[in-house]
Structure 1
Amino acid sequence: MADSAKPVFLVDAFSDPIVIRIDGRASFQNSACIHDFFNERIKEGKTRFVIDFQNCASMDSTFLGVIAGAGLQLRKLKPAGSLVLARVGTRNLELVRNLGLHRLVTVDAGETSIGAGQPGTALQCEARSELDSARLVLQAHENLVTTDAANMSKFQDVLSFLRTRVEQK
């Protein structure tokens, strides 16, 4: 596993489905590159994704909101795309279920092989301005509320704070 201070998303953008492997922590600090990766691949017409969580040390609500956003985008396609969260593990599965993502994407909590591409290319996360970062975090949390209305009570303070911050800039 990668050093937890240096989380890495390894991808195989040419496989079908596209495979993304998380090594380390997935958080607000590195969610922008996975957000951009999803957007770019979907614009290219890619509609099938698998995220391998086997080496994911932890994740936060911003990362899960980015995943929710990708899932929402893929659902709108005709025909709908797919997003599978593979080898999620007990703790991460609990987070996924608590936020309602299991109703939006396919979750495979087992230890079975993902059987697809071999992710070997590390995504490069470019620095974003403070305002762009705040917008991404806001959008991610809005995605979580769209996914499950019960998330509004969980994130109302965060949403209020971020909306104020984004509007002030």
Structure 2
Amino acid sequence: MTPPTHILVGTIGRVFWMRVDGRGTFQNSLQAKKALQRVMSHGVKDFVIDLERCPMMDSTFLGMLTGAALNLRESGGGTLSVLNANQRNLQLLTSLGLDHILDLDQDGKLWAEERRQACQALQHCAETNAECKEAQTEHVLAAHLALAGVSDANECRFHDVIEFLEKELEEHAVVQA
């Protein structure tokens, strides 16, 4: 059985730090997104996603990171740095073209002082996951649309998933009507 994932968060100086302790998946990406949105709404512009303890990420989690980076750009700038990614996660990030919109720290030099303080500053994320299946589906769709928007290759790669999710939301709307 896969151990549970914990999203740990904290503010270190001017940086919002998020450590993914376990797999980054559709099951915890909405919680992570809400935490990022909350601090963005308070004017935080610098973000670190620490993947030291994250063995893998699925496309929904990757799309959530993409959406956060794009929102940061649209809102006037800032940084979204990914630290301590293993080889598998680095390959995923670069093959999807996310190295063009995220700062990938491959040599361990970004946020050196904050790295030393991270262990003491992080706490369990208090944000919640989706309240219902429809909200979760909307989140997964938004994540995949963000990924698809990065490149034509991603658009082709995620076309079927997007189409399936849109159809699922349409069917849910008909049932609700």
TM-score normalised by structure 2 residue count: 0.87
- Structure 1 unaligned regions, length at least 5: none
The structural deviation recorded for 1:15 is: 3.4
Once the two structures are superposed, residues 64-113 of structure 1 have per-residue CA deviations (whole angstroms, 9 ceiling, x without a partner) of: 000000000011122x1110001112110000011111000100123457
Greater shift after overlay, 133-142 or 3-12? 3-12
Contact 2:8 2:123 in 1 (8 A): yes
Max Rg structure: 2
1:143 aligns with 2:146: yes
| Partner residue, 1:104 | 101
Distance 2:112 2:152 in 1: 31
Structure with the higher fraction of residues in helix conformation: 2
| Partner residue, 1:49 | 47
The residue matched to 1:59 in structure 2 has which SS? Answer: coil
Distance 2:10 2:40 in 1: 14
State the Cα RMSD in Å: 1.7
Distance 1:115 1:11 in 2: 17
Distance 2:164 2:70 in 1: 24
1:126 aligns with 2:126: no
| Partner residue, 1:28 | 26
Once the two structures are superposed, residues 118-157 of structure 1 have per-residue CA deviations (whole angstroms, 9 ceiling, x without a partner) of: 2421114334311111000000000001122210111111
Contact 2:72 2:78 in 1 (8 A): yes
Structure with the higher fraction of residues in strand conformation: 1
Distance 1:37 1:15 in 2: 17
Greater shift after overlay, 135-144 or 123-132? 123-132
| Partner residue, 1:81 | 78
Distance 2:19 2:2 in 1: 14
Matched letter for residue 164 of structure 1: K
The structural deviation recorded for 1:45 is: 0.7
1:19 aligns with 2:17: yes
- Structure 2 unaligned regions, length at least 5: 173-177
Distance 2:85 2:97 in 1: 15
| Partner residue, 1:38 | 36
The structural deviation recorded for 1:49 is: 0.2
| Partner residue, 1:6 | 4
Percent identity among equivalent residues? 31
Once the two structures are superposed, residues 22-57 of structure 1 have per-residue CA deviations (whole angstroms, 9 ceiling, x without a partner) of: 111110011110111111111111110011111112
